[in-house]
């Protein structure tokens, strides 16, 4: 096949049984389970184990996995010391990529990745997965304190994954409703087939690179505004609009200028992103429970979505997961530049599931190209040029 397809659009890059998308009907499956059912009934810990192992865990398996995650939350002081020497003005995604990449130096043991064949040490794969998943939210929460000149807050073993993250981030006992919303947000962002960051995982894993390096590559891909960085841009857009009454003029101006409306449209979905539907439902319930006394940007967002649906639905452009996630994070008191790090925390489950899957049947990625350069020509000495 020599046809060039920009962005590899529609080109299968791998075989996978981890997740699937029905874009025409707006359905996302994790291991065959619709995302709506997992968001309603599951937890991030259980969903992660499902993604990693291919089946829902038993009660004992889930308890063991949760304990393993809890027991691996503490970060070595060498890592904290390194974080304290990073520029406080740096973006949290740059911090996260740097720190995660460094973890391989503090937690060695990837000897099974140095041969010509993929690693078959399942204990190493599982233990590394647990270490990465357990430490990423702690690193993100620690950075929020360190960059503001304070010592980080120690993790607690009596809190769930989402609860502990909010506790370490804010220093306060997490509101149960907000903790559940965070848990659902983590579930929704955990996996989404072969997106840009997951493809980065596959390419780097195929070389048998250290898993911390693999994760760092994925974080780098996720940091871009066309991928994980969009939810921060949504919040900035809503602040720029200022009020629901200005939504129509803003959208029409952007469309006339062929400019991006952040949080709208997705390459895979021809209808509304099912994750956006779930998040909007959470937002509406949250607003109702708080008696409408809530961030006014929620109303701006609903006005923007209504105008976009009127203008863009016929083109198959609807709200995606980024449109509402940043608003909910903002209501939790999370700074806008930390939104994408939360995406990375959640997506670590999917990334590591694909890392495992790639190692189980590995072949290094080596795509071809369509050459558009000069034909063969002779070298011209510098004196004759």
d(CA 244, CA 39): 29
| Model confidence at 293: pLDDT above 80 | no
- Percentage of residues of the chain with pLDDT beyond 70: 96
Q: By the 8 A CB rule, do 355 and 211 touch?
A: yes
Q: Reply yes or no on whether 322 is catalytic.
A: yes
List, in sequence order, the alpha helices (H) in the chain.
35-41, 44-53, 59-71, 77-84, 92-106, 122-146, 161-170, 176-189, 196-206, 211-222, 230-241, 247-256, 274-289, 297-312, 321-331, 339-360
- Specify which of 52-61, 264-273, 313-322, 333-342 reaches the highest per-range mean pLDDT: 52-61
Judge contact between 83 and 59, C-beta under 8 A: no
Q: Which entry of 183, 273, 322, 354 is annotated as an active-site residue?
A: 322
Closest CA to 230 of 356, 102, 319: 319
Q: Please list, residue by residue across 215-233, b when 16 or more beta carbons sit within 10 angstroms of its beta carbon and e when fewer do.
A: bbbbbbbbbeeebbbbbbb
Q: Domain residues of the chain, as ranges?
A: 19-224+341-360, 230-331
Fold of 230-331: Cytochrome p450-Terp; domain 2 (1.10.230)
Token pair of 253, please? 């101006």
* pLDDT tens, position by position, 228-253: 877 888 889 999 999 999 999 999 99
pLDDT score of 119? 65
Taking 70 as the threshold, does the pLDDT of residue 110 lie above it? no
Verify whether residue 158 is a known catalytic residue. Answer: no
pLDDT in tens, 153-205: 999 999 999 999 999 999 999 999 999 999 999 999 999 999 999 999 999 99
Residue-level pLDDT at 3? 80
**Rounded Cα distance, 254 and 275, in Å:** 25
Is pLDDT larger for residue 141 or for residue 112? 141
Catalytic residue among 183, 189, 192, 266: 266
What tens digit of pLDDT does each residue of 348-375 get?
999 999 999 999 889 999 998 889 999 9
Token digits of residue 165: 């993250």
For residues 117 and 360, what is the distance between their CA atoms, to the nearest angstrom? 10
CA-CA distances (angstroms) from residue 147 to 44, 80, 130, 233? 28, 11, 26, 22
Q: What is the reported pLDDT for 112?
A: 66
Q: 107: pLDDT confidence band, cut at 50, 70 and 90?
A: confident
Look up the CATH architecture of domain 19-224+341-360: Orthogonal Bundle (1.10)
Interval 214-240 mean pLDDT: 89
Mean pLDDT (the chain) is: 91
């Amino acid at each position: 096949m020599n046809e060039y397809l920009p962005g590899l659009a529609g080109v299968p890059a791998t075989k996978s049984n981890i997740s699937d998308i029905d874009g025409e009907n707006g359905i996302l499956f994790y291991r065959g389970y619709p995302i709506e059912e997992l968001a309603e009934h599951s937890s991030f810990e259980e969903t992660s184990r499902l993604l990693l192992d291919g089946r829902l865990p038993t009660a004992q398996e889930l308890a063991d996995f949760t304990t393993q995650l809890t027991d691996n939350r503490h970060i070595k002081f060498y890592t904290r010391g390194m974080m304290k020497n990073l520029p406080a003005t740096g973006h949290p995604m740059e911090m996260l990529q740097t720190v995660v990449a460094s973890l391989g130096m503090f937690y060695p043991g990837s000897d099974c990745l140095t041969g010509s064949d993929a690693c078959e040490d399942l204990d190493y794969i599982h233990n590394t997965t647990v270490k990465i998943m357990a430490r990423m939210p702690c690193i993100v929460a620690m950075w929020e304190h360190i960059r503001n000149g304070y010592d980080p807050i120690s993790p607690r073993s009596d809190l769930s994954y989402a609860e502990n993250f909010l506790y370490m981030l804010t220093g306060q006992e997490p509101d149960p409703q907000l903790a559940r919303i965070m848990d659902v947000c983590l579930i929704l962002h955990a996996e989404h087939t072969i997106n840009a960051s997951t493809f980065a995982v596959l390419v780097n894993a195929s070389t048998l690179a250290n898993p911390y390096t693999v994760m760092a590559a994925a974080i780098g891909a996720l940091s871009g505004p066309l991928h994980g960085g969009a939810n921060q841009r949504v919040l900035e857009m809503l602040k720029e609009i200022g009020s629901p009454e200005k939504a129509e003029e803003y959208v029409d101006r952007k469309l006339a200028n062929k400019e991006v409306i952040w949080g709208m449209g997705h390459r895979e979905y021809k209808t509304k992103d099912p994750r956006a539907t779930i998040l909007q439902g959470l937002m509406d319930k949250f607003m109702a429970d708080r008696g409408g006394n809530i961030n006014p940007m929620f109303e701006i967002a609903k006005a923007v979505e209504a105008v976009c649906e009127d203008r863009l639905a016929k083109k198959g452009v609807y709200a995606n997961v980024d449109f509402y996630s940043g608003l909910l994070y903002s209501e939790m008191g999370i700074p806008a530049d930390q939104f994408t790090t939360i995406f990375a925390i959640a997506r670590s489950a999917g990334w590591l599931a694909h890392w495992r899957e790639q190692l189980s049947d590995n072949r290094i990625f080596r795509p071809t190209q369509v050459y558009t350069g000069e034909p063969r020509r002779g070298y011209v000495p510098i004196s004759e040029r």
